[in-house]
Amino acid sequence: MNNAVSFESLTRLIRNPWFIAAWLGLMIISYLWIDLPLAVFFQQHANSITVHIAQGVTQWGKSSFYLVALVGLFCFARWIKPMPHWQMRSVFLATCIALPGILCLLLKVLLGRARPIEWLQHGEYGFYWFKIQASFLSFPSGHTVTITGLMFGLCYLFPRYWTAWLIILITVAFSRVIVTAHYLSDIMAGMLLAVLTVMWLHQQWTRRKIMGYQ
């Protein structure tokens, strides 16, 4: 089985309602029994080499760098050295970051989940609804949404390397837990949101025969 076929099998699995239900169930389990102990563990090991490495890795979840780079790629492929395929690829990847990012921000404000720092410093845990303070914008993880959207988009463009893209995705996403910026259920929610959004985007582009990104 080649890598492209393997990735297609993965997308079929993710589309399965039972898989989505199981993922949501694991998120609930994490919220009830795993999130707090994990946050306390990494807070107690804040000076470890693992946490120091994660503090560098987690920077790769910022959307601004990727969006600027993709705009630059689009401009280059449009006006400097015309490459229609790369024009559409850059638009596709930028959309894979921006659309789930907007949805993520709306959910953050709506749900108002307290970040680990609120628990560790003030004993606040859970959802507080309609918050705009940064310390209450934990769910879903924005960095996770960014890296998941980008990497899953790359999986569609370059399915031969899908395992490498997913390793990068998981590494950057879990760094958010290690640096106690998010709970495990936050990054699980970010992954699910971004993956489902990118799958929908790919479906729409394919249906409308916008094939230049492939």
CB 142 within 8 A of CB 189: no
Read off the pLDDT band of 42 (50, 70, 90).
very high
CA 29 to chain centre: 20
Q: What is the pLDDT of residues 49-67, one digit of tens each?
A: 999 999 999 999 999 999 9
Longest dimension (CA), the chain: 56
Q: Are 212 and 92 in contact (CB under 8 A)?
A: no
Q: Are 108 and 130 in contact (CB under 8 A)?
A: no
The distance in angstroms from the start CA to the end CA of the chain is 21
pTM over 0.75: yes
* Element spanning 97, H or E: helix 84-111
3-state secondary structure (DSSP) of residue 132: coil
Check pLDDT > 60 for residue 197: yes
Question: By CB neighbour count within 10 A (0-12 exposed, 13-18 middle, 19+ buried), where does 79 fall?
Answer: exposed
For residue 64, the enclosing domain spans: 3-213
User: Is the model's pLDDT at 84 over the cut of 60?
Assistant: yes
Q: Is the pLDDT of residue 213 over 70?
A: no
Is the predicted pLDDT of residue 3 greater than 80, yes or no? no
Cα separation, 54 vs 46, in Å, equals 10
Can you give the pLDDT at residue 103? 98
pLDDT at 7: 92
Q: What is the number of structural domains in the chain?
A: 1
Q: Which of 11, 23, 13, 16 is nearest to 185 (CA)?
A: 23
Q: Could you tell me if 154 and 197 are in contact, meaning their C-beta atoms sit under 8 angstroms apart?
A: no
Identify the CA nearest to 115 among candidates 182, 45, 22, 44. Answer: 182
pLDDT band at 211 (very low <50, low <70, confident <90, very high): low
Domain of 200, CATH number, reads: 1.20.144
Q: What is the DSSP annotation of 54-77?
A: HHHHGGGG-HHHHHHHHHHHHHII
Q: Dihedral angle at the C-alpha atoms of 175, 65, 74, 104, nearest 10 degrees? A: 60
